[in-house]
Amino acid sequence: MSKTQPRHALRLVAAGMTDVGRQRRHNEDNVLVAQSLDLFVVADGMGGHSTGHVASALTATSMQNFFEATSQGALPSTAPNDEVDLPPPAERLAQAVRKANRDVYEISSTHKEHRGMGSTIVAIHYDGDESLHIAHVGDSRCYRIRDGAIEQLTRDHSLINDALALKPDLTEEELARLPKNVITRALGMKDAVKVDVQTVKIEPNDTFLLCSDGLSGMISNDQILEVFDLTSDLSEACELLIAMANEAGGVDNISALLVRADDAPPPSEAHISAMEVDAPELAVEEVAASIPFSQRYRDIQDTDGVRSYRPPPGDPIEEMVVSTQLDSLREVMTPDDLAMLAAGGDVEVDGPRSIDEIRVARCKRCDHELYVGNAFCTECGTKIESE
C-alpha cells in the first residue's frame, strides 16, 4: 500500500506596482515586497505632497525594520490592553503595525512640516505553516482569489462601515447622506492604534490582492477577476489592474500588490528582492533625485551624527531597532534636513519640494506631460519603460 507523500511547504511569489493615477500630481502610496521575510505591505499616505509620501514610506520602512530586528523570534511582552491572544506570527505582525504607528506619530508630532500626516496600511505575513496573517488599519484592502471566486477579507475602517456596525438597518438614503471617503482609523493620528488582525488558512494557488482605495474604489470585484482570466503572470496582472483603474478615471493614487501561494519546489536561483520589484521609475533625466522613497528604496548611505528620538523606558523592541530608525529618517528626508536635525533644529519645507518645481517628461507616443510616479501615460495609456 503506497503512502501519501508529504506536501512540501508552500512558498509565496509576489509582484507589486504603484501609479500616481490620472488626477493627482504626486504619489503618496507605498508598496513593500520583503520576499525574504514573507512580509508584504501596501500603505496609503495622507497629508499632501510634503507629508503623505513620508508617512507611507516611513510605515513601510518601520515594518521591515521591525521584522528584521525580530527575525530571531524575540518579541516584547504584549500590552495589557490586548484583548485577544494571537499566535506568535500574528502578534509579530500586529506589533510591527503598532511600531509603525508610533514612528509616524513621533515624526508628525515633533516636526511641524509633517504635522497631520498619516497612513493606512494593509499587510500580510506568511508563517510557513499554511497560515497567513493579515493586519490592517484604514481602508486599504486585502482580497483573496480562490477557485475563480473573490472575497474581501478586510473591513474598511470608514465612517459608513462604523455607522452600519452601530445601526445595521440604515437605509440607502441615510447612507447616501454620509461622506463616502472618510476613514475612522489610520496610523500616525495618536500614539496608539487598534489593529485588526486575522489568520486564514492558505491553499495552493490562492492569490491575495493588497490594494489602496485608488484601485478598490474604481473597479469592481468582477473586473478584478477578469484580469486573472487574461493572465497568470503577477506583474502583468498588476499592470492590467492599474490600467483598468486609470481607465475608470484614476482619481487617486493606485497600488496593487499580488501574492500567490505556489506549491512548486523553490527554484535554485535566488528570489527577486523587494528593491527590484518596487514601482517602476520614470525614465527621464534630472528627476531621479526627486523620485519619492517608494520608488528609490534603500539607496541612501549611512551618515554619522543624526539624532533620533529616545525610546520609551522599558520598551525592548525600541532598543533593538533604534539604530534602524535612523535609516528611516535618512530615506524620507533630504541631507539638509538631516543636518538640521543633527544640529537640534527644526526642518523647514523649502527648496525643490513642491511638485510644481520638478521637471517633467513627455510621453514618447503622444507628447503628454508626465509626472514623477506615472507608470502609464495619463493621456494615451502607454506604459512608461525604464531605460
Question: What are 250-278's pLDDT values in tens digits?
Answer: 999 999 999 999 986 655 543 333 333 33
How far is the C-alpha of 55 from the C-alpha of 43, rounded, in Å?
9
Long-range contacts of 378-387 (CB under 8 A, 24+ apart): 378/21, 378/22, 378/246, 378/250, 381/243, 381/246, 381/247, 383/239, 384/280, 384/282, 384/283, 385/280, 385/283, 386/280, 386/281, 386/283, 387/283
Beta-bridge mates of residue 12: 261
Q: What is the pLDDT of residues 3-54, one digit of tens each?
A: 444 455 789 999 999 999 999 888 999 999 999 999 999 999 998 666 899 9
Determine the pLDDT at residue 204: 94
Residue 373 is assigned to a structural domain of this protein: no
Residue 93 is assigned to a structural domain of this protein: yes
Determine the pLDDT at residue 354: 36
Q: Which amino acid is at 132?
A: L
How far is the C-alpha of 387 from the C-alpha of 365, rounded, in Å?
16
Q: How many domains does the chain have?
A: 1
Q: Which amino acid is at 192?
A: A
pLDDT band with cut points at 50, 70 and 90 for residue 385:
low
- Which range, of 101-110, 211-220, 277-286, averages the lowest pLDDT? 277-286
Q: What is the pLDDT of residues 87-97, one digit of tens each?
A: 999 999 999 99
CA angle 287, 253, 105 (to 5 degrees): 90
Neighbours of 196 (CB within 10 A): 16
Residue 139 has pLDDT above 70, yes or no: yes
pLDDT band with cut points at 50, 70 and 90 for residue 72:
confident
- Which range, of 182-191, 254-263, 319-328, averages the lowest pLDDT? 319-328
Residue 367 is assigned to a structural domain of this protein: no
Neighbours of 62 (CB within 10 A): 27
Residue 109 has pLDDT above 70, yes or no: yes
* Domain coverage including residue 226: 11-348
Beta-bridge mates of residue 198: 134
Total length of the chain: 387
Q: Region 316-325: what's the mean pLDDT?
A: 40
Residue 361 is assigned to a structural domain of this protein: no
Q: What is the pTM of this model?
A: 0.70
Residue 385 is assigned to a structural domain of this protein: no
Who contacts 213 (Cβ-Cβ below 8 Å, separation ≥6)? Answer: 44, 120, 139, 140, 141, 181, 252
What's 236's domain CATH number?
A: 3.60.40.10
Q: Hey, which bits of the chain come out as E strands?
A: 11-19, 29-34, 39-46, 118-126, 131-137, 141-146, 149-152, 196-201, 207-211, 254-262, 361-362, 369-370
Residue 152 is assigned to a structural domain of this protein: yes
How far is the C-alpha of 291 from the C-alpha of 16, rounded, in Å?
17
* Cell, residue 81: 490592553
Determine the pLDDT at residue 40: 98
Closest by Cα among 243, 238, 276, 282 to 373: 282
- Which range, of 61-70, 156-165, 211-220, 332-341, averages the lowest pLDDT? 332-341
Provide the percentage of residues in the chain whose pLDDT is more than 90.
Answer: 48
Closest by Cα among 124, 304, 141 to 213: 141
For residues 326-344, one letter each, b for 16 or more C-beta atoms within 10 angstroms of the residue's C-beta and e for the rest, the string is bbbbbbbbbeebbebbeee
User: Torsions phi, psi of 369, nearest 5?
Assistant: -65, 140
Residue 382 is assigned to a structural domain of this protein: no
* Kind plus residue range of the DSSP H or E element containing 162: helix 159-166
* Cell, residue 327: 535609516
Residue 382 has pLDDT above 90, yes or no: no
User: Torsions phi, psi of 335, nearest 5?
Assistant: -55, -35
Q: Region 117-145: what's the mean pLDDT?
A: 95
CA angle 327, 331, 332 (to 5 degrees): 125
**Sign of the alpha-carbon dihedral angle for 253, 262, 277, 44:** positive
Residue 49 is assigned to a structural domain of this protein: yes
Q: What is the pLDDT of residues 208-256, one digit of tens each?
A: 999 999 999 999 999 999 999 999 999 999 999 999 999 999 999 999 9
